[in-house]
Amino acid sequence: MAGLIFALDAARAGRVAIITKREIKESNTQYAQGGIAAVTSLDDTFDLHVQDTLKAGDGLCREDAVRLLVENGPAAIDYLIGAGARFTRQDGGPGAPLSLHREGGHSKRRIIHTEDLTGQEIERALIDAARLEKNITIMEYHTAIDLVLQSKIEGTGDPARVAGAFVLDAATGTVKTILAPATFMAAGGMGKVYLYTTNPDISSGDGIAMAFRAGAEIANMEFMQFHPTCLYHPGLKSFLITEAMRGEGALLRLVTGETFMEKYHPMGCLAPRDVVARAIDTEMKQRGDDFVLLDATHLPPQTVREKFPNIHRTLLPHGLDITKDKIPVVPAAHYICGGINVDIHGRSSLPGLYAGGENACTGVHGANRLASNSLLEAIVFSRRAAQKAAEEWVPRKIKIVNPWSAGNAVDSDEQVVITQNWDEIRRTMWNYVGIVRSDKRLVRAQRRIKLVRDEVKQYYWDFNVTSDLIELRNILTCAELVIESAMQRRESRGLHYNIDYPAKDAVPRDTILHSAVK
C-alpha cells in the first residue's frame, strides 16, 4: 500500500519503477482484514484518536507525527475512495454512511473496512490505478539485493547518498543496477524472522536489512507486535482472526471455558494487543495448553456472518462454523513497530532514501501499535514522502561507490544450508526473543545467531545470489537488530517485556542502531 501510493503521487513528477519480488499484489496489505482507523463520525474527535494512539504507544510515540496522522485521516479515506476503493456502508448503498468497527484500544467506533477483506480491496484499487499510469513501470519477480550508494561529489556540497538498488531478475538470474534520484523503501514487515507469524512468506525484513547495511539509522526494533489471535489449525497456516471480532463482543476463553482477560486489564478482551498477547501467552504456559479459544457463539449468527464473511467462509470447510464453534487461537508475530528511522516527510538518515509502511519508523506507533493505524500511516506518510522527494529532486552525476560484483561466486549445490539456517534463526527468535524475554534468553539468542551469521556470510560470498539466499541474509540481519535493541532496553515497555526489568524507566527513549557502510 505504501509503495503504490508513493508511486502514484511521485509519477506526477517523473518516471517511477516499482520493484517487487513476487507478483505485485503479494504483500502484508493483501492480508489486512481489520481496516483503517480514521475519525469520520460525529461522536468521535481527533483528540480522542490521538489519546488512544499515545496510550497504546506507552510513552514512545512522537506526538507531532501522531497528530499529523490523525488529522489527515478523513482526507486519506477520501483519497482511497477517489482511487476506487469500495468500503462497507451501513445499508449497503453508495451514499450511506460508512460502516465502522471498533477494535482493541479504541475508545470509539472508527475502523473503516470492506467486510473483513479491507487490505485486499485497497490493493485492488491501487494496483488498477498504477497499471493505468504511463509513468509507472512495474517489475515483478525482481528481488532487491542492496542499495546503490553514490559517493560524495567534490565541490558540490552534496553528501554521499542512496542512488537506487541492485536487483536480481528471477527470470534470467542476472543482477541489474537501477539508478534513481530518490528511492522509497516500502518492503513491508519481517514476520518470517519468527517461527509463527500472521505474515506471508515474503515478509523477510528486506527493506530494514538493506537500509541498515547501507548505513541508515534503525529505530526501536525490540517492539515486535504479536497478534493475539492467529488461528491454531494444521490446515490453515498463518490465518489471522481480526481484532474486530473482539470489538464486536467475541470473548477469549481458556480451553475449559472460563474467561480470563478481566484478570489482566480493565478493558478485558478490548485491551491493547500487547496486553492480550502477553495474557494469552501467560495462561498457555501456566496451564500447558497449546491454544485458547475465541468465542463468538453468543453473538447473533447473522451478524457474525455479515461482519466476518471471509473468516466464516474460510473456516467452514475446515470444520469450524464460527457462529456455533469456538475458534482455537494463539499469538503470532504480526507487525514490527520499529524500522528505518524517518521524519514526518518519510526521509531517512541517508540522503536519497525515503521509507514508508511497515519497514519505516515514523514514531506513530511508539512501543505498541494501536490497531488499524498502520494502513492510515501508509497513506499519510507515503504521500508526504512523494511530495518531499519531488521537491528535493535535482539533477546529479552518479558515481557508484559500491558497484555490483559477483566475484568468484558459483552456483550452489547446497540448498540445505539455506533451509537449515532459516529454520535455526526462526526457532531461536521464537524461543528466546518472543513475547516474554529475559537477559539470559537474549544472550543465548545472540550466541546462536552469531554462529549462523558466520556460516551465512561465507556462503553468501561463495555462491551466486538467489531469492532464497537474499531473504536468509535479510532475516539474519533483522534477527540481530531485534536482539541488539532488546538487550539495550533495560526496562519493560509496550511490546517489550523483560522479566529481569519489569518496571518502566522514568524517561522514555528510543533505541537507535547505526551501521558502518559495508
d(CA 361, CA 336): 9
Q: Which of 62, 273, 448, 473 is catalytic?
A: 273
Active site residue 278: no
Cβ atoms within 10 Å, residue 268: 18
Long-range CB contact pairs, 149-157, < 8 A, 24+: 149/214, 149/400, 149/401, 149/402, 149/517, 150/352, 150/396, 150/398, 150/399, 150/400, 150/401, 151/399, 151/400, 151/401, 153/396, 153/397, 153/399
Instruction: Please spell the DSSP secondary structure of 28-95, one letter per residue.
Output: TGGG--S-EE---STT--HHHHHHHHHHHHTT---HHHHHHHHHTHHHHHHHHHHTT----BTTS-TT
- 91 contact partners, CB below 8 Å, separation of at least 6: none
d(CA 401, CA 33): 43
> % helix / strand / coil in the chain, to the nearest 5?
40, 20, 45
Strands 183-185 and 353-355: parallel
- Which residues are catalytic, by number? 273
